Amino acid sequence: MNVLRYDGSFFGLICGLAPFLRRHQLPDVIERENAIQPALIAADEEPSATSTAMVPGLAHDPQAFRLPGVSHESWLNAWHAFLSEAPLIELAIARYLLLAVEKNAEIDAYLADDRVRNIQRLARKVLAERHKFMGLLRFRNIGPNLYYASINSDNFLLPILGPFFVERFADQQWIIHDRKREVAAVYDLRVWTIVARAAADLPADSPQEEAAQRLWRCFFDSIAVRERLNLALQQKFIPAKYWGDLIESPGR
């Protein structure tokens, strides 16, 4: 039995899959070597000499991403689907990429194929939740030019949320804390990275934060048109599961 064990990162998965795909094969089993989330740096490990293909921590071999038939769109779909953390997502990605290699063609128009449809569905799901958090994320001040936001997302969004907020708040230091996975994206005005952070590790607000929150709630209430309040429509765009991380109080 061919077993692929990898470090939990997308790069590690693709580097491990590439030799199989070039032979037009799939591993029988794909396992994460540990519980480290994608984009976290793992310690390097020596490749196994057995039939198990072990991937060193975050081994980023550019050759692994030069597979015949796999287009830029397909790589993005595979990456975003990977962030869904769906059960057996690794094998689903492997089958999707193998189809591209076998056809040596861009496969994202193959909408009748379950392998394509499944990956595209998961990718859309991840991007839809990212889009929500691009507008719903609420930062609060916890120190001089230091801001903190907390999320509890269905999908692992930090790798694709981080670049957006680096561009939007390039002059501020910030932390986006994923409580569900106990990791955080941290930006220090130069680079951003993803680090481990316990779910209970919640920083205290700065003395000025409460006043800022009062102003925001006042603004939120002042622009509301009570006669046109539509709770069903509001929950469609701002699902109730996200309300706990908002400063304002939807539904009123």
In a domain, 250, yes or no: no
The answer on 159 and 68 residing in a single domain is no
pLDDT at site 251? 58
The answer on 118 and 207 residing in a single domain is no
The answer on 235 and 120 residing in a single domain is no
Q: Read off the pTM.
A: 0.81
| Boundary residue ending a domain (128, 151, 174) | 128
In a domain, 252, yes or no: no
pLDDT by position in tens, the chain (length 252): 888 999 888 988 998 999 999 999 999 999 987 644 443 433 333 333 223 333 333 345 556 678 889 999 999 999 999 999 999 999 999 999 999 999 988 899 999 999 999 999 999 999 999 999 998 899 999 999 999 999 999 999 999 999 999 999 999 999 999 999 999 999 999 999 999 999 878 788 888 888 787 887 787 777 777 777 777 777 777 777 777 777 776 655
The answer on 186 and 112 residing in a single domain is no
Identity at 45, one-letter amino acid code: E
The answer on 40 and 101 residing in a single domain is yes
The answer on 147 and 109 residing in a single domain is no
The answer on 120 and 50 residing in a single domain is yes
| Boundary residue ending a domain (73, 99, 128) | 128
| Boundary residue ending a domain (86, 104, 128) | 128
The answer on 146 and 63 residing in a single domain is no
The answer on 166 and 75 residing in a single domain is no
User: Which residue segment(s) compose the domain that 241 sits in?
Assistant: 133-245
pLDDT at site 39? 39
pLDDT at site 238? 75
Among 29, 160, 136, 195, smallest CA distance to 82 is for 160
The total domain count for the chain is 2
pLDDT at site 63? 65
The answer on 105 and 47 residing in a single domain is yes
pLDDT at site 139? 92
- How many whole angstroms separate alpha carbon 105 and alpha carbon 73? 12
